[in-house]
Structures are given as structure tokens and as C-alpha cells.
Amino acid sequence: MVRLPGRAGTRSTRRFGGQRLQPAPGPARRARERAERSRAAGGWFARLRAAMRGRSVAGQVFVLQVVVVLLLVVAAVVALVLQVQHDSTQEARNRSLAVAETFANAPGTSAALTGPNPTAVLQPQAEAARKAAHVDFIVVMNTAGIRYTHPVPGRIGQKFVGAIEPALHGRPVVEEVNGTIGRLVQAVVPVRAPDGRVVGLVAAGITTHNAGGLADRQLPVVLGAAAVGVALATAGTALVSRRLLRQTHGLGPGEMTRMYEHHDAVLHSVREGVIIVGGEGRLLLANDEAHRLLGLPADAEGRGVLDLGLDQGTAELLASGRIATDEVRLVGDRLLAVNQRPTDLEGGPSGSVATLRDSTELRALSGRAEVARERLSLLYDAGVGVGTTLDVTRTAQELVRVAVPRFADFVTVDLYDAVLRGEEPGQGGPMRRTASGGIREDAPLYPVGAQIRFVASSPQAHGLSTRRPVLEPRLEAAPGWLAQDVERAGRVVRYGIHSLITVPVRAGAVVLGLVDFWRSEKDEPFDAEELALAEELVARAAVSIDNARRYTREHGMAVTLQRSLLPRSLPEQGALDIAYRYLPAQAGVGGDWFDVLPLSGARVALVVGDVVGHGLHAAATMGRLRTAVHNFSSLDLPPDELLGLLDEMVDRIDQDETADGTAAPVIGATCLYAIYDPVSRRCVMARAGHPPPAVIAPDGAVTFADVPAGPPLGLGGLPFETAELELAEGSRLVLYTDGLVEDRARDIDVGLEELRGALSSAGESPEETCRAVLDSRLPLRPGDDIALLVARTRALHADRVTEWEVPADPAAVADVRASVNRRLARWGLEEAAFTTELILSELVTNAIRYGSAPIRVRMLRDTALICEVFDSSSTSPHLRYAASTDEGGRGLFLVAQLADRWGTRYTPTGKVIWAEQSLS
């Protein structure tokens, strides 16, 4: 019954503000009108209206009231009978279980069962308890189900009829059966000895008829109330009809019917608790179900929701009027699902309507739901926490950390050695214990690093052969597992580990290894559901392990390629003392590189470059660029021209690979090229998008060379500019890649200042400088390659350099030979005099004959004896084979045979032809 406070008669068709109540406009109103028209078009209601068409509104209201009262009576009777049946059954279950447990736990019951004559002791007690508890029987039996007591003595000694197997395992069982005395509910509970053993059973039963009987007492009251209601309805019809005639003002039967249907649908058709709260927070309406669920007082309507004694959270929710969907609230001992919506969305009155649904049965499922939630949480954490790196061993350790102790007490991961090397494993070989962990450190399992070969009978071998997980619920009863290592298996069982799940680590059709889950703390063994969970857990980890294996293989190939492309030793030269460091990135091999290239005239070229990206493509691109720099440097080009050629080459690489469509273009490359001349102590350098070099003066002052920043290689169309520095002897030139001064968390300007500080406190030698820089600057796990090259300058002093001006006269060659002999004698190189005279004679003769003045000769004594002839001509000599009839053409051939190296380089005023002889 729904209570409408303050309404003794017909509900007014006007709101509190005096406006006439109309259905809210919109789709909902149109749907209601269509439904009303369809109901009016046919069915029993149409026939009833046709029969009553000549009656007054009061008469129709009377008939409708009688029908409604009768329907309510029928519904109440049916609901009462169903409720009483349910209550009777529930009461029977509760009473039988309580009586059985009370008698089973009574003092002396356990002792009597183990005594010589249980019936003599327990039969009187059972009958007395049966009568006191108002149940139909109390039966005590042994574990085989043979009765020791029964209300009918003739049935003592016979087998009990009912389910006793769960009780034998320590769990009470309640069941409904059709017995000789009618429909009854019986409960069977175990009787435990002091040591916990089940020594007997106690059963108690009661018929549902004896537990109920409430319907017989309540049905007359309901029928009497119905008769009184019909009488009151009949007596009040006259009063109602007179008032209706005054208040309806000619309201037609159809309109009255629609109003009643709307009222009835809202207030009587719902099967859940309904609460209507006004805009001021007062309770306007609450049906009986809402009263029952919330425990509302009888005078709740009209009072504030916050004053009804509800718990604070539920009261605030109902008073707030906010939208709520299946919001679960604990009210007393019930879990209520609350749905709440405002009533003024389409012009209705202010306030809110809430429905309440009893969800107490969710408590019975809460345990299983919590287990499912924990398992989903475990799988989520495995997806997030396993595979954070591309390292096979660390991925296995992450799997162990996720599974212990949430799923297993101990977890071990065994992988093939080939997997650890990044290779695809073959089947049947031994495995390596890669990771192990547990709740304690002293478990007698194989240690990490041990090589294991599983015997054919072991569950691990069976799992590998079938590629399916294997469950061993009881290890002490698993002969196949015990055969693996009898002595160790015995120690494992004595340690307390009693259950095992072994799961192959599969990546497609390839088995990478095994994961073993061991249980020791819980007495229950692993079950089938946990087997499925373990398989899912390992399947997720297997993807990460296989990715790490593939990365290990690619990383090894890239490292091998990169090491083969980088310089393995520095060339011999006397212009610079050099130290270097190369550190690959932890995330993968990159494209940083460096080189030291001896040039003619005792000069040395220093080059540092960086290819953007990591992996094989970056390493291969780096090798191509390094080879190109080697080739271009042999032309003795200035730094800006060399970078221009390198830029054109990268542009061609991009065009070729873009057209081919099978390879990625060079997305970015930088380079710094510097040439140091120990004679003039001048250094000429140019850079293509590379960080500027640092210069450490002999007094320790650190500056960054102001070298124009050209565009990165491959952009094309822009020239490169050079910068020339004069370096004092003992200065240190520091070349590096951007991985040393820049990363995601640090701007390059900050990195350069930190590098300046590290260089200012470094030692004097290049080795000390490299060590100091890396000790102070290197992060624990660099995200990019780092190449560092430190060169301390030397100067070729005047006593090791000599030069002469040569007239453009062939007779001057004799004077040159004489001067050479005197200089070589002063240097103690008399044995090289003949070869040097011959080389210089040919070079000077060539310059006089084919070049132009001025002509100059220079000799340098460094790690090699260097002879250079300068002239102002730009024509380049070429080596050729002279015919037997030719008078000339053999000079350069002789020079090439006598010198270790020879060549031509161009200067702003001409060219230089040079030749080197080893002094060793």
C-alpha cells in the first residue's frame, strides 16, 4: 500500500503552485499517449468501458474501486501464501541446521559416539532435545550412516536416508526431501573429536507444515479486511460521486480513466521500493517496499529525509537528488542498489524519484567476486609489470616478482640457453634456471644458473612434449616428479612444498622454456581454475620474453656490425696525443662514430658524427658515412668542401632508398670535421648540425669554439662555413656527440655548462680528461650513444722544418740536392739522402717544367720524412707508364716506387706535390 500524506480523498489535479497537473511534454508523453490509445482500442478494458458507457463518473469510479480492491485482495493472498511458503522453508532450514549443530557440539556427544553403546547414551538425549526444539526428528549416526537414535526405535540401526558425504568432509549439508511424514527439511552436520576428526554425524529434520502455519492465521484477517474495504467503498461512493460532480466540472470518463491508469502505473506496478523526495528535501511518498527496506517509521511522509534515522550516506544521497545508477548502499543488513533521477527534467515538479532493489544476495557471491577481482588484478599487473625492458633475464625476474606471493609461494623460470643468447631454441636440450623467487630464500629448489635436464617422466618433460600446462596437486604422490632428483625431491617435500603447476613458455609454435609455480603455505593444492590462470599469466609473459629474445638477437647483430665499423686502433701520427671513449646506448645500438685520419704534411683530421636513431639501419648508415669520409679525406679537401660532398652523398642515399621503397631514408645525420696542422698550429674545422667542440687551453681555461653551425647532412642547397683557430702547444681539443650533453630531461645549454665544469677540473692528459668527463657526466643508463674524442696538440718545431725558394731554372735542381744533403746530415738521416735527392729532383723538375713560379720546397721530419714542392699552378700531375721510346714520363713513376705515399693537394695559391718516406 502506498501512503499519500495529507490526502484523504481524490488526488488534486493541480500542483502545489496552483497549476493544473499535465503530463510532461516530450517523447515520454507521446509514448504514454500511444500506449493509452492502444489499450483503449481493445481488450477487456475496452469491453468494460463499453458496458459502462451510460454510467456516471461516480459509478465508474465505484466499479473501478471494487475491481482494484479485489485485485489487491487476490495479490495480497497470493503474496501471503508465497511468502509464508518461503518463510516456512527458510525457518525449517535454519531450525534444523541450528538443532543439528547444537546437538553435535553438545558436551558428551563426541565421547558417546566413541563409547561402547552410543544408543543408550544418546537416544534419551536426542528425544528430549527433539521435543524441546519442536523438530520432527534428531538422528545420530556413525560415519557410515547407521542410525544410533531415532524417534521410532524400530529404525535404529538402519541406514540414514539422505546426503552425508559433504558432512564426512567437515561441511554441513541442508536438503529438502519428501519423507514418510511429508515434505521436510533435514540438516546433517559432522561431530568432531577433540583432534578434529569426524567421528559421527547428527541429522535434524522438520516438516515445512510444522514450521509454518502462519497463512492459516493471516488469511481470514486479509479476507475480512477486504470485505470491510468493499463495504467502505460502497458506502463512500455516494459521497465521492457528489464531490466528483463538484470538482471535475464535467471531466469525462476517458480523462478520468487516463488519470487513474497513470496513478496506478506509478504507484502500484513497480516491484521495487519507490521513494519520491520533494525539492526541499522532504519525503513525499514511500511505498511499502521502501518502508520495509529502509525501516522507515509510519509517519515518515512529510518529514525531512535527513531526519528519518537513515545512515548518513543513504540519507545524503536521497536528499541531494543527484543522478545515481545502481549505486550500492549498505542499509542495516541489506545491500540496496539505488537508482535515482530528478523529476523536473521535462517540466515536472522539482524533486527526485529513487528506486530501491534488495541486492543482499550479492553477499553470497562476494567471496567469488573478490577472488575474480584479485585474479584480474594479477593479470593486469602482469601486463604492466612484465616486459618493462627488452632483457630476457630481467623479464623472467619480473614474472617471478608479480606471481609471488599473490599466486604462488615459489616461482622458477627455466629457459633454453639459446633463448638467453637471442637465438631460436631447439627442443630436447637442457635448460638454464634463469629466475627464481619465493616467500623465503632457503627453498631446496635448483638455484639460479643451474643447468637442468628433465627426465621423461617428470611433469616438466610432459608439459614440453604436449605444450600444455601440467598440474601436480600432490607432489609426494607424483612418482614422475620424484624420479627427477630423488634426494632433492625429498628435501622439497619435507620443506613443505606440496603442489606444482608447470607451464611451457610458448611463442607461437616455439617453446622457449618452462615456468613452475610451487605452493607450500596453503593446505589446498592448486586446482583447475588456478591452472587456467597460470596458463594465461605465462602466455602474457611469453610475449615479452620472446620480444626480449628477438631484441637480444638484433642488438647482438647491430653491436657486431657497429664494432666492425668503428676504428679498432688509432693510426700512428705525431701531431696529436689522442684518447677516446665510445659507449653504446642501453636501449640499442646507435649511429655515433669518430675517426682519426692522418693527412699529408704531418696534418691530422679529426671527425665525429652521429646518425639519428638506433638499430641496424643506423649502424649501417654510420658505416657508409665513415667510409665516405675516409675516401673524401684522401683528396685532401678543406673541411667545408668535404662536408659538402658528404651532404650530397646523404641526399643521394635518401633518394635511392625512397625510390626503392624497401629501406628507410637517413632521417638525420650530423658531422664535425677538423684538420690540425702541427707546423702552423692552426686548426680548421666545419660542422654540419653537430655540437661545437670544446677547447681547453694549457692554463685550463675552457671555451667552446665558435664554429658556424651548418645544416645537418642530407638537407642540401646550403654551403658550409669553416672556422680557423690557432692552438697553443698542449691545448686539448674535445669532440663529442650530443648524447653527452643532451637528453630528454636536460636541455643542451645546461649540458654544455655541465661539460664545461667537468673539463675545467679534468687532468692534463687526454686519458684523464675522458675519465673525468664520463665519471661526472655519464648517466646510469644512457639513452643515446656517446662518442668522446680528446686530442692534445703538439707542435712541429723549426728545427724539424726546412724550406727553400727554387728559381724556375733546371740548373737550380743541383742546388736543391745539395741543400737536402746538408739538412739530412744535420738530422742524422744520411742513409735516406740518395732516395730523397731522387724524389725531390723529380718533383722540382716537374714543377719547373709544368708548373709556374714561385716554386718552393719544404721538408718535414715527423714520424715520416716528408718532402713537399709548392707551385702556383693548378694542373695536377698524373702517373703513367712511359713507352720505351719516350724521353720523359718516368719521374712520378720513380717517386711512386721510392716513397711510401705521395699525392697532390690544392691550396688557395696553387698546389703541393708531396711524398712521404718511413723513418722506421
**Residue range 102-119: mean pLDDT, rounded:** 86
Which ranges in 584-703 belong to alpha helices (H)?
Answer: 616-633, 639-660
**Integer Cα distance of 529 and 31 in angstroms:** 49
- Model confidence over 617-634: pLDDT tens digits? 777 788 888 889 999 998
Lowest mean pLDDT among 341-350, 467-476, 706-715, 822-831: 341-350
Segment 329-343 shows an average pLDDT of 85
Peptide bond into 854 cis (omega under 30): yes
pLDDT of the residue at 51? 42
Task: Using the predicted structure, report yes or no on whether residue 269 has a pLDDT greater than 60.
Answer: no
Average pLDDT over residues 360-384: 76
The number of C-alpha atoms within 13 Å of 337 and in the hemisphere containing its C-beta is 10
pLDDT of residue 890: 66
* Nearest-angstrom CA–CA distance, 724 and 686: 9
d(CA 726, CA 742): 29
> What pLDDT, in 10s, does the model give residues 485-518?
999 999 999 999 999 999 999 988 899 999 999 9
Position 571 scores a pLDDT of 86
Given pLDDT bands bounded at 50, 70 and 90, which one contains residue 94?
confident
- The per-residue pLDDT for 214 is 52
The mean predicted confidence, pLDDT, of the chain is 82
3-state secondary structure of 361: coil
Q: What is the pLDDT of residue 603?
A: 93
Residues 6+ apart with CB under 8 A from 424: 418, 510
pLDDT at 12: 38
pLDDT digit string (tens) for 834-887? Answer: 889 888 888 888 888 888 889 999 999 988 899 999 998 888 776 666 555 544
Say if residue 56's pLDDT is above 70. Answer: no
pLDDT band at 96 (very low <50, low <70, confident <90, very high): confident
Lowest-pLDDT choice from 55-64, 788-797, 902-911: 55-64
- Predicted model pTM: 0.50
What integer pLDDT is reported at residue 41 of this predicted model?
Answer: 47
Residue 28 has pLDDT above 50, yes or no: no
- Distance between CA atoms of residues 332 and 314, nearest Å: 11
Q: Could you count the other beta carbons within 10 Å of the beta carbon of residue 249? A: 7
Share of the chain above pLDDT 90, in %: 29
Query: How confident is residue 639, by pLDDT bands cut at 50, 70 and 90?
Result: very high
Percent of the chain with pLDDT over 70: 81
pLDDT classification of 27: cutoffs 50, 70, 90:
very low
CA distance 842 to 895: 7
In eight-state DSSP terms, residue 542 is H
Quick one: pLDDT at residue 20?
38
Phi first, then psi, for residue 169 (nearest 5°) are -95, 10
Query: What is 377-426 written as a DSSP string?
Result: HHHHHHHHHS-SSS-HHHHHHHHHHHHTTTT-SEEEEEEEHHHHTTSPPP
Q: What is the pLDDT of residues 740-771, one digit of tens each?
A: 888 776 778 888 888 999 999 888 899 999 99
Instruction: Assign 3-class secondary structure to 137-149.
Output: EEEEECCCCEECC
Q: What is the pLDDT of residue 677?
A: 94
Instruction: Work out whether strand 351-358 and strand 273-278 pair parallel, antiparallel, or are unpaired.
Output: antiparallel
Is the CA virtual torsion 885, 891, 893, 894 positive or negative?
positive
Between CA 476 and CA 481, with CA 479 as vertex, the angle to 5 degrees is: 80
Distance CA 632, CA 681 (A): 23
The arithmetic mean of pLDDT across residues 45-66, rounded, is 56
Residue 611 has pLDDT above 90, yes or no: no
Which of 105-114, 244-253, 318-327 is predicted with the least confidence, judged by mean pLDDT? Answer: 244-253
The yes-or-no verdict on residue 407 having pLDDT over 70 is yes
pLDDT bin (cut points 50, 70, 90) of residue 5 is very low
- Higher-confidence residue of 50 and 275: namely 275
Instruction: Reply yes or no on whether the pLDDT at 681 is more than 90.
Output: yes
Distance CA 663, CA 14 (A): 80
Size (the chain), residues: 920
Question: Does residue 907 register a pLDDT over 90?
Answer: no
